[in-house]
Amino acid sequence: MTILAEKKVEKQKELRGTDEFDELLLKTIDQTIRYVLGDGNTLIIYNYLERNSCPTVEIPQRLNLFSAQLRNLLGVGRGQILGAPTILEDAIVEALSSELGLRLERESAVFEDRVRGLKERYNKERSKPSLHSGLE
């Protein structure tokens, strides 16, 4: 993440208490977009999102808007890169699944549903008692 993006995330965390999953999600989105499209295009995407009511730090709470704005920016029709938003979303979900150490289950084609499913499974795994708890 750029220094500016990191400062925005820190400010938002202070205001609303971002959880660990949301931080991992934002980091994964940033890394994936940068890897696929490069730094310059990533900044264009972040600026576009900001201008269209979807600041980077609000993406975890506004996944549907994030997905819709990716489609608006990258296009879905004639003359656009066919399937680019879906490919980018798939890459984000796959990278996030790997980062969380969870097996990828494609229960839905909807980006928001897939991310929320990962969050539920991640929180469920974290709430399980450790095998080593109480042995110290």
Question: How far is CA 89 from each of CA 10, 13, 25, 43, 124, rounded to the nearest angstrom?
Answer: 24, 24, 12, 17, 23
Among 12-26, 63-77, 87-101, 115-129, top mean pLDDT goes to: 87-101
More confident residue, 124 or 131: 124
Range in 6-10, 49-53, 98-102, 104-108 the model is least confident about: 6-10
Q: Mean pLDDT highest for which of 8-22, 57-71, 78-92? A: 57-71
Burial 94-110 (b: 16+ CB within 10 A, else e): ebbbeebeeeeeeeeee
CATH of domain 15-125: 1.10.1200.200
What pLDDT is attached to residue 136?
Answer: 46
Three-state SS string over 60-118 comes to: HHCHHHHHHHHHHHHCCCCCCCCCHHHHHHHHHHHHHHHHHCCCCCCCCCCHHHHHHHH
Q: What is the pTM of this model?
A: 0.78
Domain boundaries, the chain: 15-125
